[in-house]
């Protein structure tokens, strides 16, 4: 998380790409250029915060195609589109697909840096969210099978007594499991536990 | 002349009325009239007299009049022997058919008949006509059955006419001779001229040597008029006849010469008032009628002289600048050469009409040609405008790639400039980076302006040019322009240019427009194909005099039913097409004396071929057109 952001520039125009890389460099960013969608996809992405500056019209798969492909990955980087000629249909499609911005070339520096800031912010927050989810998943993974069973029944809204009956254990034993799993999952109340369960359910959907 | 003739007719109508009782008594069933002329039969005066006679001598149901004409052929023939021969001839000829009336025409014939009357036509009434009054006066008294109207001369009338025709003349010169007869004329003139030529400076050249007279006339100017009856003898005693005198004087005189005798006509005199032969013939004819009607010649009351008519030599009218309009309508005109118009006016009229029609035709053809030329110019202008509009439309289709092509370098320039600025702001000493950035800015700037200039040539509205250019270069430009578009539509444009320069003459932009049109069509044609088939080949080859540009795609080809209409206006198979692109392309190519055609490649796809005359051939054609 502490790593410096890396900006990916995908543009088939060598000169423009180099200019953008220079600009980003001068603005204090670390940036990497790609001449095509394929080149971008073939290069393994380091796990670093960042975003993609993507030309809409590219030879081979277009910028929009790349955006689609990236969205299917959980680790999608935010996309800022650059275009030489913005038509409404393309920009709407790009924005609907979650683009941070749709900038027309030539791009003013302020607009570009502003969009970059927002993209990095979005990346940061999605990284944070992803980290939290990862933590939760790790916690769930730490539950013993018995604790897991009890958690599922709590989430299903069953009372301790019912759970004890169903599992054929004593009420006291259920209460002990419950205390252990709440501790493992890092929640203090039944309400928090319910919320966590809701999130998990929605994610697995 | 008409009026005079009518007057004469009237006079004789009166005469006849008086002699009517006698006429009823004698009723000859047939009557012969013998007319004897002094001269040759073809002398104009004779012909005129004959005409007058024949027009006035009447036939009636109970009287048939035959007119016989004889000619003494004077002055060509003469002498006692000749005369006796003629007498014998006439006597023998008319022995069995004696004429009822004999008419003598002019002096010699009259004299002949008087001399030989007893031998020839004894007792037959003799009517004379055109015999000079003076001649008659000089003869002994005539028998009572010899009648006629004498021919008289009109000196005063001739002088008065001359004065009318020369209103600016102030001097009247009168030339007379030295013989007794000349002196009579002189006397008459001296008596009459002061009265008729009032206000004129009158000079008599009377009885002078002819050389003196000639010298005097030579010095005369345009303010003078000369009148002469001619003379028979000059001051030196040399003998002349009047006509010779006129012929001597008139050609050298500095002033117009007038004379009273018709014999003068043709010698150079202008003319004068003279007796009219037609009228004389008519007068004689009326007398013949009266005599045949049984009237006694002695009882006829005849006028004192024949009517006069004005006679002129038209050449002299011209020579002296006499106003032609002042020549009276009844004037007898001699030597007026019929003008071309008078001789050939039918032909002239017909030719004029033909020429007029032809001219009209030519004018209308010229107008038609101009109208067509204007229409052609208008069509040409419309074609140019349409071609331009079509280029704009194509540019519209290409907007995205054009914007992209321009905005790429602009974007790069802006980013580079921003980068440079940030580097400078940061105070880093990154000289190398800055240098690199600046040179890239320059490159991008050139790139942008290159795109713009290419576009400007394509889009600018200009009159079609006729300049030589290389099709190879023009084609590479087009391929360059369309490359972005092709790339983004995942189409490969392949250009196979000619190895040698392919020069044609014409409008480079318009030919490029044709190429763009064909290439865009081809790009559309391959749009739905699998990507590996999206290849378009444009190639340039020389084929004899012609240079052929082929655009080949691997698309579905042209539906056979569309092949024939493909180049028609408003024929389109596209959703958004106007159907003008190929029609404009064809008109452009045809304006370059080339052709455009399409065929389906058996291997799949369509091939468009544009044939243009190579520069050498095109130049030759252009030369032929110029």
Q: Write down which residue in A135, A159, A175 finishes a domain.
A: A135
> Residue B517 above 90 pLDDT?
no
Number of domains in chain A: 2
Q: What is the pLDDT of residue B618?
A: 45
Structure confidence by residue, pLDDT tens digits, A131-190: 888 888 888 787 888 888 888 888 787 888 888 888 888 888 888 888 888 888 878 777
**Is the residue at A1 inside a domain?**
no
What is the C-alpha separation between A201 and B36, in angstroms, rounded? Answer: 162
User: In B, which residues are within 8 Å of A25 by CB distance?
Assistant: 419
CATH number of the domain at A115, please. Answer: 3.40.50.2300
Angle among Cα B589, B594, B600 to the nearest 5 degrees reads 80
**Is the residue at A17 inside a domain?**
yes
Q: What is the mean pLDDT of chain B?
A: 83
Domains in chain B, CATH or no CATH each: 2-152+278-305 (3.40.50.2300), 155-274+311-338 (3.40.50.2300), 463-626 (3.30.565.10)
Q: What is the pLDDT of residue B106?
A: 84
pTM score, whole prediction: 0.46
Judgement on whether residues A105 and A164 belong to the same structural domain of the protein: no
User: In B, which residues are within 8 Å of A65 by CB distance?
Assistant: none
**Which is more confidently placed, B282 or B574?**
B282
Task: Lowest mean pLDDT of A56-65, B143-152, B355-364, name the range.
Answer: A56-65
Task: Lowest mean pLDDT of B26-35, B66-75, B330-339, B570-579, name the range.
Answer: B570-579
> Residue A195 above 90 pLDDT?
no
User: In B, which residues are within 8 Å of A64 by CB distance?
Assistant: none
| Tokens describing residue B175 | 């030339």
Is the Cβ–Cβ distance between B598 and B608 less than 8 Å?
A: yes
Nearest to B408 among A16, A22, A23 (CB): A16
Which residues 47-66 of A have a C-beta within 8 angstroms of B? 57, 59-60
Q: Write down which residue in A109, A135, A161 finishes a domain.
A: A135
Verify cis geometry, omega within 30 degrees of 0, for the bond prior to B230.
no
Q: Is B330 on the interface with A (CB under 8 A)?
A: no
Residue of B nearest to A19 (CA): B416
Is the Cβ–Cβ distance between B154 and B192 less than 8 Å?
A: no
What is the C-alpha separation between A60 and A38, in angstroms, rounded? Answer: 8
Q: What is the pLDDT of residue B21?
A: 41
State the number of CA atoms in the 13 A half-sphere of B225 facing the CB.
Answer: 26
| Tokens describing residue B17 | 């009325």
SS3 B34: strand
Judgement on whether residues A19 and A102 belong to the same structural domain of the protein: yes
Is the Cβ–Cβ distance between B536 and B523 less than 8 Å?
A: yes
Verify cis geometry, omega within 30 degrees of 0, for the bond prior to B75.
yes
**Is the residue at A32 inside a domain?**
yes
Q: Write down which residue in A99, A118, A135 finishes a domain.
A: A135
Residue of A nearest to B401 (CA): A85
Judgement on whether residues A70 and A41 belong to the same structural domain of the protein: yes
Task: Lowest mean pLDDT of B435-439, B476-480, B567-571, B601-605, name the range.
Answer: B567-571
> Residue B1 above 50 pLDDT?
no
The distance of A13 to chain B (nearest Cα, Å) reads 7
Judgement on whether residues A164 and A123 belong to the same structural domain of the protein: no
Judgement on whether residues A24 and A81 belong to the same structural domain of the protein: yes
Judgement on whether residues A99 and A18 belong to the same structural domain of the protein: yes
Judgement on whether residues A87 and A175 belong to the same structural domain of the protein: no
Identify the band that residue B566 occupies on the pLDDT scale cut at 50, 70 and 90.
confident
Judgement on whether residues A150 and A184 belong to the same structural domain of the protein: yes
Task: Report the pLDDT averaged over residues B59-74.
Answer: 87
**Is the residue at A180 inside a domain?**
yes
CA distances to A53, A105, B412 from A10, in Å: 6, 14, 14
Angle among Cα A44, A45, A48 to the nearest 5 degrees reads 155
Could B412 and A19 be called an inter-chain contact, meaning their C-beta atoms sit closer than 8 Å? yes
Q: Which domain holds residue A161?
A: 142-204
| Helical residues (DSSP H) of B470-535, grouped into ranges | 471-488, 508-526
| Tokens describing residue A92 | 């709407």
| Tokens describing residue B87 | 């007498």
Which strands form B30-37's sheet, in the order they lie side by side?
B64-71, B30-37, B101-105, B126-132, B146-151
Identify the band that residue A202 occupies on the pLDDT scale cut at 50, 70 and 90.
low
CATH number of the domain at A157, please. Answer: 1.10.10.10
What is the C-alpha separation between B206 and B193, in angstroms, rounded? Answer: 14
Is the Cβ–Cβ distance between B493 and B534 less than 8 Å?
A: no
Judgement on whether residues A121 and A151 belong to the same structural domain of the protein: no
What is the C-alpha separation between A136 and A151, in angstroms, rounded? Answer: 14
Q: What is the pLDDT of residue B574?
A: 67
* CA torsion angle B75 B77 B81 B87 (round to 10): -80
Identify the band that residue A32 occupies on the pLDDT scale cut at 50, 70 and 90.
very high
> Residue A46 above 90 pLDDT?
no
What is the C-alpha separation between B351 and A36, in angstroms, rounded? Answer: 88
Judgement on whether residues A14 and A110 belong to the same structural domain of the protein: yes
ipTM of the prediction = 0.74
Residue partners of A121: CB distance under 8 A and separation at least 6 = none
User: In B, which residues are within 8 Å of A20 by CB distance?
Assistant: 415
Q: What is the pLDDT of residue B458?
A: 74
Judgement on whether residues A128 and A181 belong to the same structural domain of the protein: no
| Tokens describing residue B31 | 């009557």
**Is the residue at A97 inside a domain?**
yes
Residues shown for chain A: 205
Q: What is the pLDDT of residue B159?
A: 92
What is the C-alpha separation between A143 and A140, in angstroms, rounded? Answer: 5
Sort B432 into a burial class: Cβ within 10 Å, 0-12 / 13-18 / 19+: exposed
Q: What is the pLDDT of residue B27?
A: 44
Q: Is B407 on the interface with A (CB under 8 A)?
A: yes
> Residue B408 above 80 pLDDT?
yes
- DSSP-derived letter for residue B275 is E
Judgement on whether residues A129 and A164 belong to the same structural domain of the protein: no
The distance of B423 to chain A (nearest Cα, Å) reads 6
Nearest to A109 among B405, B418, B443 (CB): B418
């Amino acid at each position: 998380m502490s790593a410096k952001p890396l900006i990916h520039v995908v543009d088939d125009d060598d000169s423009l790409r180099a200019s953008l890389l220079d600009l980003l460099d001068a603005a204090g960013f670390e940036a990497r250029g790609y001449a095509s969608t394929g080149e971008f996809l073939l290069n393994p992405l380091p796990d670093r915060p960042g975003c993609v500056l993507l030309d809409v019209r590219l030879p081979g798969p277009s910028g929009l195609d790349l955006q689609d492909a990236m969205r299917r990955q959980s680790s999608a980087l935010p996309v800022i589109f650059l275009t030489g000629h913005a038509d409404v249909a393309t920009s709407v499609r790009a924005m609907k697909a979650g683009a941070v911005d749709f900038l027309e070339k030539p791009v003013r520096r302020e607009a570009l840096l502003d969009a970059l800031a927002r993209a990095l912010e979005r990346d940061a927050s999605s990284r944070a969210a992803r980290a939290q989810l990862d933590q939760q998943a790790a916690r769930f993974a730490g539950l013993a099978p018995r604790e897991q069973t009890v958690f599922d029944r709590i989430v299903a809204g069953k009372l301790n007594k019912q759970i004890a009956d169903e599992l054929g254990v004593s009420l006291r034993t259920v209460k002990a499991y419950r205390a252990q799993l709440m501790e493992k999952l890092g929640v203090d109340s039944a309400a928090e536990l319910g919320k966590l369960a809701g999130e998990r359910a929605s994610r697995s959907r | 002349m008409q009026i005079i003739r009518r007057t004469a007719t009237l006079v004789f109508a009166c005469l006849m009325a008086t002699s009517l009782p006698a006429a009823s008594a004698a009723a000859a069933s047939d009557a012969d009239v013998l007319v004897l002329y002094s001269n040759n039969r073809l002398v104009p005066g004779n012909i005129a007299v004959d005409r007058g006679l024949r027009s006035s001598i009447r036939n009636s149901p109970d009287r048939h009049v035959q007119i016989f004409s004889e000619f003494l052929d004077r002055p060509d023939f003469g002498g006692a022997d000749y005369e006796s021969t003629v007498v014998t001839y006439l006597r023998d000829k008319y022995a069995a058919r004696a004429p009822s009336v004999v008419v003598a025409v002019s002096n010699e014939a009259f004299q002949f008949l008087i001399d030989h009357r007893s031998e020839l036509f004894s007792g037959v009434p003799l009517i004379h006509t055109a015999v000079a009054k003076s001649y008659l006066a000089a003869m002994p008294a005539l028998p009572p059955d010899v009648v006629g109207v004498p021919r008289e001369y009109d000196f005063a009338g001739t002088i008065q006419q001359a004065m009318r025709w020369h209103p600016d003349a102030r001097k009247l010169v009168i030339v007379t001779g030295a013989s007794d007869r000349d002196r009579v004329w002189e006397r008459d003139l001296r008596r009459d001229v002061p009265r008729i030529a009032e206000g004129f400076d009158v000079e008599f050249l009377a009885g002078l040597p002819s050389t003196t007279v000639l010298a005097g006339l030579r010095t005369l100017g345009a303010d003078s008029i000369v009148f002469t009856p001619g003379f028979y003898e000059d001051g030196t005693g040399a003998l002349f006849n009047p006509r010779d005198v006129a012929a001597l004087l008139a050609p050298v005189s500095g002033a117009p010469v007038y004379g009273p005798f018709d014999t003068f006509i043709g010698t150079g005199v202008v003319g004068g008032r003279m007796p009219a032969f037609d009228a004389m013939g008519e007068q004689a004819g009326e007398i013949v009628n009266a005599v045949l009607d049984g009237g006694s010649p002695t009882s006829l009351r005849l006028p004192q002289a024949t009517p006069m008519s004005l006679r002129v030599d038209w050449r002299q009218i011209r020579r002296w600048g006499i106003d032609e309009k002042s020549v009276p309508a009844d004037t007898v005109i001699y030597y007026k050469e019929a003008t071309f118009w008078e001789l050939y006016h039918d032909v002239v009229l017909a030719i004029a009409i033909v020429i007029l029609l032809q001219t009209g035709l030519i004018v209308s053809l010229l107008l038609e040609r101009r109208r067509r030329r204007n229409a052609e110019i208008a069509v040409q202008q419309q074609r140019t405008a349409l071609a331009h509009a079509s280029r704009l439309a194509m540019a519209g289709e290409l907007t995205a790639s054009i914007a992209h092509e321009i905005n790429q370098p602009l974007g790069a320039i802006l980013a580079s400039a921003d980068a440079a600025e940030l580097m400078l702001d940061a105070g880093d000493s990154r000289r190398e980076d800055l240098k690199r950035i600046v040179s890239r800015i320059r490159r991008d700037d050139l790139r942008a302006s290159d795109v713009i200039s290419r576009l400007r040539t394509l889009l600018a509205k200009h009159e079609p040019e006729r300049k030589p250019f290389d099709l190879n270069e023009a084609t590479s430009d087009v391929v360059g322009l369309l490359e972005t578009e092709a790339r983004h539509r995942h189409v490969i444009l392949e250009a196979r240019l000619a190895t040698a320069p392919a020069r044609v003459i014409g409008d480079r932009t318009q030919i490029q427009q044709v190429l763009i049109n064909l290439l865009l069509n081809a790009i559309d044609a391959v749009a739905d194909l699998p990507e590996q088939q999206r290849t378009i080949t444009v190639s340039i080859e020389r084929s004899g005099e012609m240079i052929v540009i082929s655009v080949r795609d691997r698309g579905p080809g042209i539906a056979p039913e569309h092949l024939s209409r493909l180049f028609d206006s408003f024929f389109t198979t596209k959703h958004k097409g106007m159907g003008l692109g190929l029609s404009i392309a064809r008109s452009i190519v045809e304006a370059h004396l080339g052709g455009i055609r399409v065929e389906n490649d058996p291997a799949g796809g369509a091939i468009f071929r544009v044939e243009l005359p190579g520069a050498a051939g095109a130049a030759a054609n252009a030369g032929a057109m110029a």
